[in-house]
Chains A and B, each alone.
Chain A
Amino acid sequence: MKSTNQIELTAGVFLALAIAALIFLALQATDRGVVSGGSYEITATFTNVGGLKPKAEVSLGGVTIGLVERIELDPVTFDARVHMQISEQYNDLPEDTSAAILTAGILGDQYVGLEPGGSPVALEDGDELMITNSAMVLEQLITKYLLNGDDAQQ
C-alpha cells in the first residue's frame, strides 16, 4: 500500500503527463494556420473558379508559397474573389504577377498558379492581382468544341 503522499504525487504526475500530451498534440499534430510564420494577403478575381476550394495551394514555379484562405462572390460583378495568404518570405513578387487556376494532373486538385511579371514594384498586403485566367471547366470545353464542330459544318 502506497502512502498518501505517493498517491497524490502519482496522480499529479499523471495529470501533468496528460496536459503535456494535450499541448504536444494540439501544437504539433495539427495544422495551426494557413501558412506557418508570417503571411500577407493578396486577392484575385476570376469569372469562374471551377473546383477551387479554401486551403488549396498557391504555387509559383511548382513551389507552394501560400494557401487559398477564402473564396467569395462579388455581389455586384458576380465574379469570384479569391483571398490568398502568401508566406512572408516571398514578399517581393512583382506587382504585375498574373494568377491562373490550374489542375494538378487530369483529375487532381485545383490550385492557383502564379506567374511573375516584370514590374519593379512589389505586391503588398491587400493588393489585387489584375491579370487572371479562370479555371478550365471540362464540360464547357467539350460543349464549345462540339458547337464549333457544328459551326464548321454549316
Chain B
Amino acid sequence: MREGLVKIGRAVVFLGQLFSRVRATPLQARETLRQIYYAGARSLVIIVTCGFFVGLVLTLQTYDTLTRFGAADAASTVLALSLFRELGPVLTAILFAGRAGTSITAEIGLMRATEQLDAMDLMAIDPMERIVQPRFLASLIAVPALTVIFNLMALLGGIFFAVFVMGNDVISFWGNMQASVELGRDFLHGMGKAVGFGFLAAWLAVYFGWSARATSEGVALATTQTVIATAIAVLILDFVLSAFML
C-alpha cells in the first residue's frame, strides 16, 4: 500500500519535472513529429485492422440481439454510440499501450540501462527535454488521432456487415445512426475521453521507461508495467469521466 502510494507520488513528481522543462524550439517540434511517426503512423496497421473487426463483430452481435426485440433498425445507432462513447477511446488507448507505449518504455529504459541518459546529461543536453518530452507529446497527439481512425474503420466494418451480410442499404444504416447521435454529448464526449487516455498512456510509458532499473530485468519489468498500468488506469478513468460527463 505504502509502496504503491510512493510510486504514484514519484510518477506525479516526474510529470511536474516534465512540464517544468517544456521547451518549444524548432528542433523539439521536428523530434515530436518524428515520434508521431513512430508512435502514431506505425500503429495504423493494428488500429485499422482491430477497428474494422470490432465494427464487424459489434454489428453482428447487435443485429442478433435487437432482432429478438424487433428493433434491428437501431443496430447502427447502438454501434455508433458504443463506439464513440466507450469502445473507440478505450480500445485504442489499450492497443496503443501495447503497440507504442511498450516501445517507448523499452527505448527510454534501455537508454537508462546503457547509460546514454547519463552521457547526455554530461554533455549538458537535458534528456528530459530531448528524449522524454517529444515522446510524451507525440503519444498525447497520437491517441486521439488513432481513436478517430479507429471509429471510422469500425463504422466501415459495421456498414460492410450490414450491407453485404444483412442486405441492408447504406442510406438507412447511416441515416438511422445520424438521426440519434449527438455531436456534443456523444462524439465530442468520446474525443474528450481520448485526450484523457492519451495523456495517461503517454505519461505512464515515459515514466516507467525513465524510472526503470538499469538492468535487463528492469527494462523487461518496466515494459510489462506500462501495459498493465495503462490498461487499469484507462478503465478507471473511463468510469470516472463517464460518471461526470453524462
Establish whether residues B41 and A10, one from each chain, have CB atoms under 8 Å apart when the complex forms.
yes
Checking B148, B155, B174, B187 against A18 with a beta-carbon cut-off of 8 angstroms, the contacting residue is B148
Q: Chain A residues near B152 (CB, 8 Å)?
A: 21, 24-25
Per-position binary interface string of chain A over residues 4-15, scored 1 when its CB falls under 8 Å from any chain B CB and 0 otherwise: 100110111111
Distance of A28 Cα from B151 Cα, bound (Å): 13
The reply to whether A18 and B178 form a contact with Cβ atoms under 8 Å apart is no
User: Given A11, A22, A28, A31, which contacts B34 in the complex, CB threshold below 8 Å?
Assistant: A11
Interface residues in B166-188 by Cβ distance below 8 A to A read 174, 177-183, 186-188
List chain A residues, Cβ under 8 A from B44: 14
Interface: B149 (CB within 8 A): yes
Let me know if B11 is at the binding interface, CB within 8 A.
Answer: no
The 5 closest A-B pairs by CB, nearest first: A18-B145, A11-B37, A14-B41, A30-B183, A11-B36
CB distance from A39 to the nearest CB of B (A): 16
In which size bucket is the chain B interface?
A: 20 to 34
Contact of B181 among A12, A24, A30 (CB under 8 A): A30
> Can you report 12 residue pairs joining A to B where beta carbons are below 8 Å apart?
A8-B33, A11-B33, A11-B41, A13-B41, A14-B41, A15-B40, A21-B152, A22-B148, A22-B191, A29-B84, A30-B186, A31-B182
CA–CA, A14 and B177, complex, Å? 27
Task: Classify chain A's interface size.
Answer: 20 to 34
Give the dominant DSSP class at B's interface: helix
A24-B152, A30-B182 in contact; A8/B40 too (CB < 8 A)?
no
Rounded to whole angstroms, the CA-CA distance of A22 and B151 in the bound complex is 9
Q: Does B30 contact A (CB under 8 A)?
A: yes
- A17 at interface (Cβ–Cβ under 8 A)? yes
Distance in Å from the Cβ of A35 to the closest Cβ of chain B? 12
Q: Which of B74-100 contact A (CB under 8 A)?
A: 80, 84
Q: Does B146 contact A (CB under 8 A)?
A: yes
Q: Measured between alpha carbons, how far is A17 from B153 in the docked complex, in Å?
A: 12
A21 to B84, CA, bound (A): 13
Contact partners of A10 in chain B: CB under 8 A: 37, 41
Question: Once the chains are docked, how many angstroms separate the CA of A11 from the CA of B138?
Answer: 10
B-side contacts of A4, CB under 8 Å: 34
B183 CB contacts on chain A under 8 angstroms? 26, 30-32
Task: Give complex CA distance A30, B80 in Å.
Answer: 10
Per-residue CB contact flags for chain B residues 39-60 toward chain A (1 = under 8 Å, else 0) read 0110010000000000000000
B146 and A18: CB pair below 8 A? yes
In the complex, B141 has a CB within 8 A of chain A: yes
Contact A26 B187, beta carbon cutoff 8 Å = yes
Interface string of B134-149 (1 = CB under 8 A from A): 0000000100111011
